[in-house]
């Protein structure tokens, strides 16, 4: 299945502005709502940038990278200590090693889209599977409350059924005594 068919199947839409398109950025809207505030809901958006980054576009001020991370090669910096007599820092002859974690850039647009589809399937479609077909989100607390309520009703019914069962057993015991006695 090609990328366009996958995007159609997942109902992913291109919502890039003309300026974004001119800059080589493509913004994709997923059919999954995100609840940022009790009265505000919007659809999840992810973006592919020609620089090789893929990002979540829902955080407003801090759209975070979705790219995989890797350890950088260690970098070494000279160690310094303060010398009172010279009133300045001098090298100690030692070096400090520093490593960082960097994003693995995806230079090819097709590869970025394949990565985004896989990422979205795992992190949005599967993790948001508790959203019902009409787009309403069922929160964990609400689900647990409704489940507890249903269990209470079931317990009450089960208790009644248990009492009926006990009465039937007593009647059967009385009937046996009457038949044999």
For the full predicted model, state whether its pTM sits above 0.85.
no
pLDDT digit string (tens) for 61-120? 678 899 999 998 899 999 999 999 889 999 999 999 999 988 899 999 999 999 999 999
Q: Are 65 and 54 in contact (CB under 8 A)?
A: yes
pLDDT digit string (tens) for 21-63? 999 999 999 988 876 677 777 888 999 999 999 999 876 667 8
Q: Are 117 and 7 in contact (CB under 8 A)?
A: yes
CA distance linking residue 179 with residue 160, whole number of Å: 28
HEC readout, 146-167: HHHHHHHHHHHHHHHHHHHHHH
pLDDT digit string (tens) for 116-169? 999 998 888 877 665 544 555 566 677 677 777 777 766 555 566 666 667 777
């Amino acid at each position: 299945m090609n990328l366009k068919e996958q995007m159609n199947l997942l109902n992913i839409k291109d919502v890039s502005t003309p300026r974004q398109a001119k800059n080589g950025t493509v913004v994709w809207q997923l059919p999954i709502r995100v609840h940022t505030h009790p009265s505000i809901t919007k659809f999840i958006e992810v973006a592919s940038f020609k620089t090789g980054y893929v990002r979540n576009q829902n955080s407003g001020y801090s759209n975070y990278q979705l790219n995989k991370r890797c350890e950088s090669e260690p970098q070494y910096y000279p160690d310094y200590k303060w010398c009172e007599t010279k009133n300045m820092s001098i090298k100690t002859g030692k070096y400090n090693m520093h490593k960082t974690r960097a994003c693995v850039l995806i230079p090819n647009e097709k590869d970025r889209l394949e990565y985004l589809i896989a990422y979205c399937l795992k992190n949005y479609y599967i993790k948001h599977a508790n959203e019902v077909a009409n787009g309403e989100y069922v929160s964990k607390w609400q689900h647990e409350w409704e489940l507890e309520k249903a269990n209470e009703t079931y317990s009450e019914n089960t208790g009644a059924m248990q009492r009926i069962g006990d009465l039937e057993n007593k009647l059967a015991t009385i009937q046996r005594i009457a038949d044999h006695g």
